[in-house]
Structure 1
Amino acid sequence: MTKNEIALAPTAALLVIDVQKGFDDASYWGPRNNPAAEANTAALMDAWQETGRPVVLVQHASRTAGSVLAADHPGHAFKDFVAERAGQAALLVTKTVNSSFYGTPDLAAWLTAQGIGQLVVSGIQTNMCVETTARMAGNLGYDVLVPLDATHTFDLAGTDGTALTADELATATAVNLHGGGFARVVTTAQLLAACAAPAQVTA
């Protein structure tokens, strides 16, 4: 195996986190990065379906007043390309916080029941629900891969007025996950190549 090759377990689960219509509201979120995120996520979902690996959809139901991700808002719905592929999902998790492990049904319990030890974490936002879920998954002992180019986020300002662009935040997430030992940051192309290769069982 070369440096850029990845071994995917036959049961490796793809988590597609919060790819919902509300994130298309630029007036609410501000500037985003990575316009290829949706196409890359769709390609991963298709590859997972073709190889019989499980896909887990995660949907955020915000409790924040006026949120475009509230359960009674049109923005709560999955983006069309995800909705069109929702029938292939092995599990739908609904959550109200950043981590997909604090949702309903219990993600960790389901993964354990299925004998799944490897997770690929994609979706929105890179530095929020994707990073939080990946960090927690790493702490729980899963082998975690994050295709950064199948995620996106938005510019963000801190309380002191310091602002970071979406790309800067994505870079920080990649450094946090890799440097902190929570996950391996990979590309969609690497994962698609791994899907096409004979399945490998990882430790």
Structure 2
Amino acid sequence: MNSALLVIDVQESFRARPSWQAVSAPDIAERAARLAAAARARGDMVVWVLHAEPGTGDPFDPDLGHVRLMDGLAPAPGEPVVTKTSRNAFTTTNLQQLLTAAGVTGLTVCGIQTEQCCETTARLAADLGYAVTFVTDATATFPIAHRDAPPGQSLAETLADPRTLTTDQIITRTEYALAGRFATIATLADLTPAAAVV
């Protein structure tokens, strides 16, 4: 099976938001780099995905300069970088064409956010016929405010609200939703030798 690693949205946009203080994996760039190094060592394709929201004036607006890989990450020569404007990595990019041209049938997913772009991409990839591996501890997410929380509340208010979903709860829910249906759940240790470096 030809395989590819998708590194989804591990970009500076997230560090530019106040919610970064509550991220589940502050070292997500290092985790993604370990997976990329291991994928290269196996001869797997590595695809880098960025998320852009042009014209919004927020950290995902390319005009602000944050829509770039986090410091410490760099594609190797020949590794594609695609920029999406949807939550999944397929709909607004040429990702499927790239994978098809390379004969890829298996995908490994990591990145930000666990339950949004990563999970959505994994679900769609499974529907497209790819064998998907979801590396949960190489994804990152943030607490989610309750649907009835007042708009515009601060991060401190969100964290203090007992109705807020914690990052652990989000990660567990994602694993339950994906396992046995859309993806095989794996860990960083499962896929990277102890000595894997960038």
Length-normalised TM-score, structure 1: 0.82
**Aligned equivalent of 1:86:** 75
Find out whether 1:103 has 2:92 as its counterpart: yes
Shift of 1:66: 2.9
Provide the rounded CA distance (Å) in 2 between the counterparts of 1:108 and 1:156.
30
Provide the rounded CA distance (Å) in 1 between the counterparts of 2:58 and 2:128.
30
Kindly report which structure 2 residues correspond to 1:23-42, keeping only aligned pairs within 5 A, or say none: 23-28=14-19, 31-42=22-33
User: May I ask how many residue pairs the two structures share in their alignment?
Assistant: 181
Find out whether 1:77 has 2:68 as its counterpart: yes
Provide the rounded CA distance (Å) in 1 between the counterparts of 2:178 and 2:36.
23
**Aligned equivalent of 2:164:** 163
Provide the rounded CA distance (Å) in 1 between the counterparts of 2:7 and 2:144.
22
Find out whether 1:119 has 2:87 as its counterpart: no
Looking at secondary structure, tell me which structure has more helix per residue. 1
Which aligned segments of 4 or more residues in structure 1 are displaced greater than 6 angstroms?
A: none
Give percent identity, aligned residues only: 39
Length-normalised TM-score, structure 2: 0.84
Q: Deviations over 1:141-188 (max 9, x none)?
A: 110001111110011113223420122111111111115x00011001
Provide the rounded CA distance (Å) in 2 between the counterparts of 1:50 and 1:116.
16
Provide the rounded CA distance (Å) in 2 between the counterparts of 1:33 and 1:156.
12
Provide the rounded CA distance (Å) in 1 between the counterparts of 2:33 and 2:59.
23
More displaced, 12-21 or 85-94?
Answer: 85-94
Kindly report which structure 2 residues correspond to 1:115-194, keeping only aligned pairs within 5 A, or say none: 115-161=103-149, 162-179=163-180, 181-193=181-193
Matched to 1:50, the amino acid is A
Shift of 1:75: 1.6
Kindly tell me: are residues 99 and 54 of structure 1, through their superposed partners in 2, closer, same or farther at Cα, counting changes over 3 Å?
A: same
More displaced, 11-20 or 66-75?
Answer: 66-75
CA RMSD of aligned residues (A): 1.9
Matched to 2:171, the amino acid is A
